[in-house]
Chains A and B, each alone.
Chain A
Amino acid sequence: MNAEDRALANRKLVKKLLWVIAGAILFTIALVPLYNVMCQVTGFNGKTGNSAEQAAKSMKVDNTRWVTVEFTSNVMPGLAWTFYPKQTSIRVHPGQIELATYVAKNIANQEVIGQAIPSVSPGQASLYFKKIECFCFQRQTLKPGESKEMPLTFFVSPDLPKQIETITLSYAFYSAVK
């Protein structure tokens, strides 16, 4: 092979490798949504889906089983609110639509917007914990000194694996990001 042929061959191969790198970069970008899909499929990280209003209509109540649902909360640094569940736990039949309430209060003299981030444990249960209406679907605004009851309607899917008897729902309330 003479030098010119070789230079040409080298350039061709470099081009191919640059495509590989471009592919790797695209793959990296794709990993972020892929990760979220993985979380939703496996229940990893206890992330719950959005409104399950449709699924609720065709739901059959399983009266033979009880599941305990516990509620807890964290107010993250920087949010001048108090925030706690009104009830610490309730017992439900899978499929039964239930209402739970959290109480939030703005203790500062300015309007504050917050965003609640839900998390369910055990992570596996998050696939079966369905919210119909939740204050975490939107940002919440509280006027200075305002106190507000925040409702949550949900049900536990009857498909919940038998060995899960207790589900804990936690909300981390953050100061809403811009």
Chain B
Amino acid sequence: MAFKQYQQSGAALMLALWSLAAHAEMRWNFPKPVTPMAEDTLHVHNKFMIIIMVIFLVVLGIMIYSIFNHRKSKGHTPSQFTGPTTRSQVIWTLVPFAILLYIDFILMGIPAYHSVVMMEDTKNGADMVLKVTGMQWRWQYEYMDGDAKGIKYVSNLKTPQDEIDGKAEKNPDYLLEVDNPLVLPVGKKVRVLLTANDVIHTWWVPQFGTARDAIPGFLRETWIKIEEPGTYKGQCKELCGKGHGFMPVVVNAVSEADYKKWVEAKKTELEAASAGADKQWSKEDLIAHGKEVYEKNCAVCHQADGKGIPGTFPALAGSKIINAPIFDKDGKLMTDSHLDRVFNGKNVMPAWKGILNDVDIASVVTFERNSFGNSMGDMVQPAQVKALR
């Protein structure tokens, strides 16, 4: 099967090479900058690239001249010099280093200095603050102030597994699409706080010209000011485990007015979701919803069949934690119970209380207790989850 794929790919290669120059997808430089920082980075980068190419070509030119003229086959007799001898030779030897000193610390050094100062200018005049939390393998966004204060949600990869496995046609946004994109207003200076819950991640959107590590237990910050509405995409770029290639960043930059509308809509949506927690759910509904939640969030490690990956991710089928009660006789959550593990996490298992809402957690727990051969028969109501918060 693999061979056949390669045959197809070989044909595709011919096509690709043929249309190489005209191919729209082939990018030769940074993508279009949309923040002052990215603009600056692009200018600095272009300038530096020209400088190093000039250095390279000049030196290569000298080498090629020498290679063609100072050959034995041309009867060139070797000189025997081992260093500069006359005063003028010494001076000519020093000239390249004077030029290099100038390039290093003035031509490149000064613009680079200004870029660094600009990049670290997070402290002033921020219009809003955004907190980004990296976790295996998704991003969480929390709006810290302004109208959107309190909005907090998780952004997951949306690409279906079938597309990744080659069982379905890949859509144009393959691997760069999420269920809940980050929405930001244009023209506002956003202070971005970064942290992580498990391992180190790096939040990176190339068109913003900014990348900063998200470090577990510590806070970092950077800033962005998007100047053009649009959808901008990036990825995690610090190796963070098996899902490293599958945690994209998608940002919708919208006008101030549209942003306000989005904030209202999002608030309503989040309220509606939490309102669902107050009603009594039937077991069937919980299991049906839980299956969706499971496939989206849990199957990546515990696998679609609940068998896990031996040695790495525990199986849910027949799990001791699942096949045990959740609440003690006083109705309190038992430590190391099924819900405790899902809600609060442990080691590699994330704390889902910060990621999923009450309905999702109740549903997925109910689903797991009644699937993969587990038959606890009981259920967890969203209201019980809500009471824990």
**A–B direct touch, CB within 8 Å, in complex?**
yes
A105 to B348, CA, bound (A): 23
Partner of B344, one of A77, A109, A145, A166: A77
User: A51: CB under 8 A from chain B?
Assistant: no
**Interface contact A166-B346, CB-CB below 8 Å:** no
Q: Convert A73-97 into 0s and 1s, putting 1 for each residue whose CB lies closer than 8 angstroms to a CB of B.
A: 0111111111000001100000000
A/B pair count, beta carbons within 8 Å? 114
User: A153: CB under 8 A from chain B?
Assistant: no
A125 to B332, CA, bound (A): 42
Partner of A170, one of B120, B193, B348: B193
User: B177: CB under 8 A from chain A?
Assistant: no
Partner of B216, one of A76, A82, A89: A76
Residues in A neighbouring B198, C-beta threshold 8 A: 77
Q: Convert A98-109 into 0s and 1s, putting 1 for each residue whose CB lies closer than 8 angstroms to a CB of B.
A: 000000000111
| Count of interface residues, chain B, beta-carbon cutoff 8 Å | 44
Which of A72, A88, A110, A121 has the most C-beta atoms of chain B within 10 angstroms of its own C-beta? A121
A46 to B194, CA, bound (A): 12
**Interface contact B351-A121, CB-CB below 8 Å:** no
B325 to chain A: closest CB distance in Å? 11
* B273-312 at interface with A (beta carbon < 8 Å): none
User: A172: CB under 8 A from chain B?
Assistant: yes
Residues in A neighbouring B133, C-beta threshold 8 A: 74
Say which size band chain A's interface belongs to.
35 or more
Residues in B neighbouring A42, C-beta threshold 8 A: none
Partner of B195, one of A107, A164, A166, A172: A172
Residues in B neighbouring A78, C-beta threshold 8 A: 344-347, 351
**Interface contact A82-B389, CB-CB below 8 Å:** yes
A35 to B97, CA, bound (A): 36
User: A70: CB under 8 A from chain B?
Assistant: yes
Q: Convert B38-52 into 0s and 1s, putting 1 for each residue whose CB lies closer than 8 angstroms to a CB of A.
A: 000000000000000
* B353-367 at interface with A (beta carbon < 8 Å): 353-354
**Interface contact B217-A117, CB-CB below 8 Å:** yes
A110 to B350, CA, bound (A): 20
Sample of 5 A–B contacts (CB below 8 Å):
A77-B347, A80-B344, A108-B340, A119-B218, A121-B219
Which 10 A-B pairs give the minimum distances between C-beta atoms?
Answer: A77-B345, A109-B332, A110-B335, A78-B346, A121-B219, A119-B219, A80-B344, A170-B219, A172-B217, A107-B388
Q: Which residues of B contact A (CB under 8 A)?
A: 120, 122-126, 129, 131, 133, 142, 144-145, 149, 191, 193, 195, 197-198, 216-221, 328, 330, 332-335, 340, 343-351, 353-354, 388-389
8 more A-B residue pairs beyond the given contacts A121-B220, A174-B217, with a C-beta to C-beta distance below 8 A: A76-B217, A78-B345, A109-B332, A109-B333, A121-B219, A125-B123, A168-B221, A170-B193
